[in-house]
A and B are shown apart, each in its own frame.
Chain A
Amino acid sequence: MELKNAVAGTLESGDIMIQIGPGEGLQVELQSSVEAQFGRQIKELIKETLTGLGIDNAYVKATDKGALDCTIRARVTAAAVRSTGVDVWK
């Protein structure tokens, strides 16, 4: 799948901003206010969500302000849809 640069989410507390673009394999760069406790889980969730959408090659920059898993999944999905042009919600 071809990826364009796309963004979803905000830098508000409780949210996560996902910037996605072309890459080789799934690379996730994460900055998080809860990095020490949840960084590992957040990266895994981002990769898992992308894989679930059929994306195996992407570079993701994630800036997290303590988002819950449901929020992370929603922001990653929205960024992926904007990036690929494929509407997964139909």
Chain B
Amino acid sequence: MRNSKVVSLEEAIRRSGLKDGMTISFHHHFRGGDKVVNMVVDKLAGMGFKDLKLAASSLSDVHSPLIEHIKNGVITGISTSGLRGQLASEISHGLMSEPVVFRSHGGRGSAIANGDLHIDVAFLGASSCDCLGNASGCPRSENAKSICGSLGYALPDAKHADHVVVLTDDLVDYPNVPKSISACDVESVVVVESVGDSSKISSGAIRDSKNPRDILLAQQAAKVIINSGYFVDGFSIQTGTGGASLAAVKYIRESMIEKGIKASFALGGITAHMVKLHEEGLIGRLIDVQSFDKVAAESIASDQLHQEVSAVEYASADNPGSAVHALDIVILSALEVDVDFNVNVLVGSDGVIRGAIGGHPDTAEDSALSIIVCPLLRGRIPCVVPKVTTLITPGAGVDVVVTEYGIAVNPRRPEIAARLKEAGLKVVDIHDLAAKATSVIGVPDPLPFGDKVVGIVMDRHGKVLDKIYNIK
């Protein structure tokens, strides 16, 4: 009976007891290379399911086939961290009658753990799985076809969903150890041709910048960190996926070597940059909720000190054990920052959804020092504005904003402003940055929003933070 869990996708769906109106869930560890969402929803549509609620940890350009499934009534609700591409554009223009619910990664973990987001059936892709359901994002045989590293965002689903189906493109001998998802949480195992294209993991938000402005911003951000008072032996750090925040790591590294300072851990989405510092002995441990590239995925497969964590262990607001509570410094990017230090990372300045919340509000709120790095202007689009288009990260959690025209420090943190001034950095009032932007580009006309709510932004504590209206 050992193989009784291994069934076809159709049989797994039938066994799950899935009914119209129920909630299905997915993780996004394959990012732009994901094949599971489209494959499963196509199958559900073919089997005649309607009115399903899709709870993904995030969605991207590759999920545009969902548009047809929404039009046909197969999918009638979505919750996610982000939306990009054609799907995002259609939803912004009013495709769905039910608004999309946006949560941060920590917020989603909490919502699943406390029952706010109940999952009936989770469909979780894995790069290796045994016949009982012990699954991992790491390859475990010479037949392995994919690798995604950490399965952090899938772990709350695996633990709390009523029914769990693991899809894998490499069924390996029992026992598949070390495992990320336990066989005890898994009802069915489905072997498929491919769960995802690993080469597309580092697409989407992540880019390695050669842009001179990004490099300038990165140097400034590094100087802020070094002079902030938090750059001491044993500090901890997380970086977002923007070009400038990744490049900042390079300059921090130089200073760490020069001053003999080592970090205790790096948190969050782990990149090759962080793996390099870890392997050089500059960062003690890597705490990885999502492996952002192949180097990070390979490292988690082989390095004991590179530890996978679930979204709850990573960034839950109401779990005092989550790692963000121990985080000293985070570098983040932004689409817009306003004069109250509020940040928008989700909705573009044209009113169209084009990003993801990620761990932005989680890390900004709980870290000791949060630094937003963004240019003053992107083309004619201002990044420092009087008021953000959509509120994602409240200004109370944002400490420093680094632009090429100066560094603004939240008035709540006068001690940091004083340290940066003393170090000779150009500290400016954030109102002056907004005024500078306006002086170059003029005052934008208001966006043509309609009166239909297409998105609801939940804060990480489970309350409604903002609403996104349709754009005409």
Contact = CB atoms under 8 A, between A and B. Distances in A.
Contact of A38 (B351, B378, B380, B448): B380
Contacts of B447: 36-37
Contacts of A14: 379
Interface stretch (B34-42, B94-102, B438-446): B438-446
Nearest to B440: A68
A38 B444 contact: yes
A67 B381 CA distance: 10
A67 B376 CA distance: 15
Interface in B212-269: none
Contacts of A13: 379
Contacts of A40: 445
A67 B445 contact: no
Given A36-B447, A37-B349, A37-B447, A66 B379 contact: yes
A6 B448 CA distance: 34
Contacts, number: 42
Question: Interface size class for chain B?
Answer: 10 to 19
A67 B440 CA distance: 11
Contact of A34 (B381, B440, B448): B381
Interface residues of A, number: 15
Interface in B417-472: 440-442, 444-445, 447-448
Nearest to A41: B442
Given A65-B379, A66-B379, A66-B381, A34 B350 contact: yes
Interface of A: 13-14, 33-34, 36-41, 65-69
Contacts of B381: 34, 66
12 contacts: A33-B350, A33-B379, A34-B350, A36-B351, A37-B349, A38-B380, A38-B445, A40-B445, A66-B381, A68-B380, A68-B441, A69-B441
B468 to A, nearest CB: 15
A13 B211 CA distance: 13
